[in-house]
Amino acid sequence: MKNNFLLHGAWILAAILSFTIGANFFPANQRVDVAGPASGVGKSGLADRGEKGNAVEGALGATPSGKPDGGNGQSDALQPLLRKLSGGDIEILGEQFRKGTNPIERRMAFTALLAGLTAENALQVRKQIEHMDHRSAEFREFHYAWGAVGGAEAVMFGADTEEDDMSPALTGWASADPEAALAWFNNLDMENNAGFDALLKDRKIPAADLNGHLMRGLVQGLADANPDTASRFIQDMVASGHEGAEGMIHIVAGAVMRSDSPAEAALWSEGLPEGKMREMAMNRMAGHFARSDPEAAASWAENFSSEPSSAGVIGEVGQNWARRDAQAAVDWLESLPAGNGQNIGMHRAMHQWAERDPTSASEHLSTMAASDSKDAAVRGFSSRLAWENPQAAMSWAESIGSDEQRRNAIIGVGRAWSKRDADGAAEWMVSSGVSEDVQQAILNPPKRDDDGRRRR
Amino acid sequence: MQNKRVIHCSYFLLTTAMFVVGSQFAELPSSGSVLPKKEKPDPFVKASPIQEISALAGAEKPTASPGQNDSSTGQGVDRQPLLLSLPVGKWNGKGLQFEDFALEKGPLSEGQIEELVLAAIKSSDPVERRRAFDRILQEMQQDSFTVEQAMTIRKAMANNKASGEQWRDFDYAWGANDPEAAVAYIEQIPDRYRNGYTGNMLPGLASVEPQIAIDLVAEMEGDLQRRMTGRLIEGLADNDIGVATEYVFGLAENEDPHATQHMRKLAREVVDNEGLEGGLSWAENLEEGPLQGAALWQVANEFTNEDPQAASQWAEQFVGQDQNARLFGEVVREWDDREAAEAWVASLEPSQGQRDALSAVFGFKGAHQPHEAVQEIIDMPVSQDRDFAINGFISGLAVQDGESAVIWAAEISDPGMRQAAMIRAGRHFFRQDQQAAMDWFAASDLPEASLSQMAGVKVD
């Protein structure tokens, strides 16, 4: 009796074990022969090159004969989704990624690595790409993908490395799970988190800088998932007094510009809440739209020609349209109601026109009646002409009606003249009778700091 | 006995069946894994100040079930890992189903190609973009791939403003997978795109049809030929390092003035393809001479960037080989620890390599510590070392102060080196202040012909 019991028990145990082994180690359709010979897929060239690309083919789902196996009804493109990479697969793919003999083979190996990436094998996959420059697309995409599958663990891994891998990991995480990434970021207390010691204490990176760096990564990921989420997050950051947060709208704008048509992107920016962030986004989109379709951009921009905060939109359209067709751009600008938008647009459009065809530009200026808009146009024109013909540019600058505009134009032309021909500029200053303060402003232009920004 | 056999057989069958069931069970995709990735719900959808967002930490996230993913309601968060998700819908408002583009479903249609290219350029997810473009590249490897498909891809890429990298990969793949069509297209592409296209396609072509690619470049002339030779070498190296090496040696035999430059290019490719170790071994085993010198010079660059200490020890085996002297300077230039680099140079035996390294030390100082360098040079007796120090010093100095650099160049005692250094420094001087440079030139003893080298003007 006891023997019988043991016999049945042993067989039942064997059946359970058998199921477990089948499920874990021999899943149907797993391509065990990762390094099996591939041949004859293509008509020539890469696809015919024998032993090369085997692991890639395997990992991407080709059969050992090199032909895709559609027998189970799963697509080739889906194969990576169903395929677990073994440690050996990862090593082979890594080798091909590092030493593949052509860029396509290396590219495919990298994609196969990403396709098989899990939170568990991420460190081993990372070893295959760690030789890459941290600014390279591959390095960043790996961390993006790891962030998406690994979340906080992937982000915090970067706290102990030299490279910039925290930010792309956070981007990936935020793109896949915005809520969790946001919550993590908002609860960050870096100074009291030993995980950040290597960055804050050893490398002495200021906490605010690191926070800003991570925030940019977060915003990029939120924008990838949903630009509206990203812009609302920025709004909240601005409201909570985070300095410079508005500027991050450029990250969101970039994501929108990639996915949407210029017209759609412009509409998106228009829908943002009033304020500096919207102004920045609209300006960016106006330039993008105008480069693609200036007439359509102009029609859109006209809606804002009387909004003082949207003057930059008119300026962007005027400038970018003038690059293609300065006369048309200026005609359009002249049709707009007088105001700051028209003036900025005229300044930029005439600057462009002076660069392309100074004779036609000057002829057009001669036909314009005196106005603020003409003053702006002359200022734009003279600022460009100063690099070619400073004497003529100065004559134009001196003809400006508004005292303030004229002074600024003279200083601008004088500075360009001094850089181009210091002796000639000095001679002009002596003979022109310009005031001492204008001379000083010409001779002492604002210095630029290390970032190339003008110091105030 | 009979009974026992039946029992054992039954259990054996059951066990086998369980194994099969287990293996099939594992094959089933996890729920939601093939759902299209939709735009993620907006956690701010209800007025959500920062405090509220913080409160989300630890909150249970909604889970998705197949078919329930609805971005418009903000429900159905796709919690699948990125790579288990299918394409984002944002770029064109609908999800891209990769199974519709499977290889076994036959050649991609025009519409499918356009959709994939659009995803490859417009998707907000970089990994998604990569996968979509990879599917295009896979299609190009198929026997069924046609010129019409290639044209559809090109048109879609142009319309959607594909990146330079995507153009490079597409053109390479076309050259590698359909050499005949890719070469024929050179004559059809508009003039303004021809050189860019040829430069991208050529390495792909050379990687599978080296001779056709070599012949193509041989028909070119002047600067275009020089530039395309570089691209050709990339492709030849992808085909076979030996073929590429033989080709570059052939250029030198035919007195190509850019042969050493091409050898450096090849050395970079070898290190890229074979790794540093492979690159070192390849360079060390080349035939002795200027081409080997150029190859060693380049691998020294790569080695120093990876491990300067080890690179410096490796370099020492070439002390006394004048044709390989330039690698010593390269080690110094690439070594980011200036003190260690200087100490190493001081430890080297007097040789051409040591002087080249000294020149590199002073090149750095000329750019970054000119006053310190001047004092050191003044303290040096007139010698070959001093000449090399000045020669290096003016290279660093001339970028910022051409006028001082030409004065220092005149201090070099060796006449040939002096003239070459004056011309080199003079080029910068002419760029910085043409009038003053003309005055200096008039007073110098440089030959009239050197004016064109410095000022870029034709001398009658």
Residue in B closest to A82 by C-alpha: B29
For an interface test with B, the pick among A3, A8, A17, A104 (most B C-beta atoms closer than 10 Å) comes out as A104
Tokens 């600058």, residue located = A397
Q: Say whether residue A163 is in contact with chain B using an 8 A CB cutoff.
A: no
> Which chain B residues have a beta carbon less than 8 Å from that of A78?
34, 98-99, 102
pLDDT at res. A119: 94
Residue B65 is predicted with a pLDDT of 29
Across the range B262-276, mean pLDDT stands at: 93
What average pLDDT score do residues B437-445 get? Answer: 90
B301 pLDDT higher than 70: yes
The predicted structure's pLDDT at residue A2: 60
Average pLDDT over chain B reads: 82
Taking CB atoms and an 8 Å limit, are A18 and B15 in contact across chains? Answer: yes
pLDDT at A244 over 60: yes
Task: Please indicate whether, in this complex, the C-beta atoms of A68 and B77 are within 8 angstroms of each other.
Answer: no
Q: How far, rounded to the nearest angstrom, does the alpha carbon of residue A11 sit from its chain's CA centroid?
A: 61
The span from the CA of A112 to the CA of A110, in Å, is: 5
Residue A45 confidence (pLDDT) above 50 = no
Q: Do A26 and B23 touch (CB under 8 A)?
A: yes
Q: What is the mean pLDDT of residues B273-287?
A: 94
SS (H, E, C) chain A: CHHHHHHHHHHHHHHHHHHHHHHHHCCCCCCCCCCCCCCCCCCCHHHHCCCCCHHHHHHHCECCCCCECCCCCCCCCCHHHHCCCCHHHHHHHHHHHHHCCCHHHHHHHHHHHHHCCCCCCHHHHHHHHCCCCCCCHHHHHHHHHHHHHHCHHHHHHHHHCCCCCHHHHHHHHHHHCHHHHHHHHHCCCHHHCHHHHHHHHHCCCCHHHHHHHHHHHHHHHHHHHCHHHHHHHHHHHHHCCCCCHHHHHHHHHHHHHHHCCHHHHHHHHHCCCCCHHHHHHHHHHHHHHHHHCHHHHHHHHHCCCCCHHHHHHHHHHHHHHHHHHHHHHHHHHHCCCCCHHHHHHHHHHHHHHHHHCHHHHHHHHHHCCCCHHHHHHHHHHHHHHCCCCHHHHHHHHHCCCCHHHHHHHHHHHHHHHHHHCHHHHHHHHHHHCCCHHHHHHHHCCCCECCCCCECC
CB contact under 8 A, B26 and A69: no
Contact A141 B126 (CB under 8 A): yes
Shortest Cα–Cα distance, A111 to chain B (Å): 7
Q: Where are the domains of chain A?
A: 31-116
Measure in Å the smallest separation between the Cα of A69 and chain B Cα atoms.
7
Residue A81 confidence class, pLDDT cut points 50, 70, 90 = very low
What's residue A24's pLDDT?
Answer: 56
What proportion of chain A, given as a percentage, has pLDDT over 70?
83
Interface touch B99/A7, C-beta < 8 Å? no
Considering only CB atoms, which chain A residues are within 8 Å of B206?
none
Q: What pLDDT was estimated at residue A23?
A: 58
- The more confident residue out of B202 and A456 is B202
* pLDDT of B257 strictly over 60: yes
Asked if B83 lies within 8 A of A102 by C-beta distance, the reply is no
From A72, A51, A52, A50, select the one nearest A61 (Cα to Cα).
Answer: A72
Chain A CB contacts of B54 under 8 Å are 183, 186-187
Interchain proximity B83–A49, CB inside 8 Å: no
Nearest to B54 among A74, A187, A228 (CB): A187
pLDDT at residue B67, rounded to an integer = 31
Range of lowest pLDDT (A58-62, A109-113, A395-399): A58-62
How sure is the predictor about B38, in pLDDT bands with cuts at 50, 70 and 90?
Answer: very low
Q: Which pair of structure tokens corresponds to residue A324?
A: 């293609």
Contacts of B124 in chain A (CB under 8 A): 175, 223-225, 255, 258-259
Do A175 and B25 lie within an 8 Å CB cutoff? no
Tens of pLDDT, residue by residue over B54-112, are: 222 223 332 232 233 333 333 333 323 223 233 333 344 345 677 778 777 789 999 99
Q: How far is B317 from chain A (nearest CA, A)?
A: 27
Please report which confidence band the pLDDT of residue B445 belongs to, taking 50, 70 and 90 as the band edges. confident
Ranked by mean pLDDT, the top range of A244-258, A303-317, A438-452, B429-443 is A244-258
Indicate the angle between helix axes A87-99 and B259-284, nearest 10 degrees.
140
Residue B177 has its nearest CB partner, among A45, A236, A239, at: A45
Task: Please tell me the least confidently modeled range out of A29-43, A44-58, A185-199, B420-434.
Answer: A29-43
Nearest to A440 by CA among A406, A409, A404, A415: A415
Higher per-residue confidence, A1 vs A226? A226
Tens digit of each residue's pLDDT (9 = 90 or more) over A323-379 = 999 999 999 999 999 999 999 999 999 999 999 999 999 999 999 999 999 999 999
Task: Report the half-sphere exposure of A143 (CA within 13 A, side-chain side).
Answer: 28
Chain B positions in Cβ-Cβ contact with residue A60 (cut-off 8 Å): 138
- pLDDT of B29 reads 35
Interface of A with B in 254-313 (CB under 8 A): 255, 258-260
Q: Find the CB nearest B124 among A72, A107, A224.
A: A224
Query: A288: closest CA among A261, A262, A319, A251?
Result: A262
pLDDT for res A16: 74
For chain B, give the percent of residues with pLDDT over 70: 81
Question: Which pLDDT belongs to residue A26?
Answer: 55
Interval A153-159 mean pLDDT: 95
CB contact under 8 A, B18 and A239: no
CA dihedral B90, B92, B95, B97 (to 10 degrees): -140
Of the listed ranges A136-145, B15-24, B297-306, B387-396, the least confidently predicted one is B15-24
- With beta carbons under 8 A apart, name residues in chain B contacting A102: 172, 176, 203-204, 207, 238
pLDDT reading at A54 higher than 70: no
Q: A412 burial class (0-12, 13-18, 19+ CB within 10 angstroms)?
A: buried
Residues of A (18-47) whose Cβ lies below 8 Å from B? 18-24, 26-29, 41-47
From chain A residues 66-95, the ones with a CB under 8 A of any chain B CB are 68-70, 72, 74-78, 80-82
Could you tell me which residue, B17 or B325, shows the higher pLDDT?
A: B325
Q: Which among A101, A237, A259 is the nearest to B90, CB-wise?
A: A259
Probe site for chain B from A17, A19, A65, A291 (most B CB atoms < 10 A)? A19
The pLDDT, as a whole number, for residue A99 is: 83
- Greater confidence (B97 vs B186) lies with B186
CB under 8 Å, gap of 24 or more: what pairs does B265-269 form?
A: B265/B230, B265/B233, B265/B234, B266/B233, B266/B237, B266/B295, B267/B294, B267/B295, B267/B297, B267/B298, B267/B299, B267/B302, B268/B298, B268/B302, B269/B233, B269/B234, B269/B237, B269/B238, B269/B244
Query: What 3-state DSSP class applies to B107?
Result: coil
How far, in Å, CA of B9 to CA of B7, rounded?
Answer: 6
**Cα gap A305→A284, rounded to integer Å:** 16
Statement: residue B20 has pLDDT above 70: no
A416 at interface of B, judged by CB pairs closer than 8 A: no
pLDDT (0 to 100) of residue A312: 94
CB contact under 8 A, B141 and A27: no
Question: What's the confidence (pLDDT) of residue A92?
Answer: 94
Whether the predicted pLDDT of A164 surpasses 80:
yes
Mutation test of the interface with chain A: which of B10, B12, B23, B60, choosing the one with the most A Cβ atoms within 10 A? B23
Neighboring chain B residues of A74 at a CB cutoff of 8 Å: 99, 102
| CB < 8 Å to B122, chain A | 258-259
Distance of residue B23 Cα from the nearest chain A Cα, in angstroms: 4
Check residue B190 and report its DSSP letter: -
Q: Which of A19, A28, A74 sits opposite B18 (nearest CB)?
A: A19
State the pLDDT at residue B92. Answer: 41
Following DSSP, what letter does each residue of B216-254 receive, concatenated? HHHT--HHHHHHHHHHHHHHHHHH-HHHHHHHHHHHHHT
Q: What is the pLDDT of residues B364-411, one digit of tens each?
A: 999 888 888 999 999 999 999 999 999 999 999 998 899 999 999 999
* pLDDT for residue B320 is more than 60: yes
What pLDDT shows up at residue B48? 31
Q: What is the pLDDT of residue A421?
A: 86
pLDDT score recorded for residue B54 = 27
Residues 207-236 of A with CB under 8 A from B: 223-226, 228-229, 232-233, 236
The count of CB pairs under 8 A between chains A and B is: 279
Strand partners, B36: B86
- CB contacts of A229 in chain B (<8 Å) are 40, 42-44
Is A81 within 8 Å of B84 when comparing Cβ atoms? yes
For residue A456, pLDDT over 60 is answered with no
**Among chain B residues, CA nearest to A265:** B91
